[in-house]
Amino acid sequence: MPPYQQDKMLAPIWQKIELQIKHLYQHNSQNGLLLKQHMQINQEQLTFLKKRHSPALYGEHGQTENIVASGYRIKI
């Protein structure tokens, strides 16, 4: 038995609250799915960019690195 069913004043208010909660739950679920899809797409794009990103000009110690471009070694 739902709460306030016997109370003529509170019963319709409670029904509206329950309906709003169901409505919000559906929107929250849809937003969660959309967010998950966007996060997956962003991760795929980051992975793609990281694989194709050319190495930095300087190494971790601030020294120049040798870069291989088109089969030629280039010292920068």
Tens digits of per-residue pLDDT, 16-60?
A: 999 999 999 999 999 999 999 999 999 999 888 888 775 556 667
Break the chain into its structural domains and give their ranges. 10-75
pTM over 0.75: no
CB atoms within 10 A of CB 10: 13
Six token digits for residue 21: 């909660």
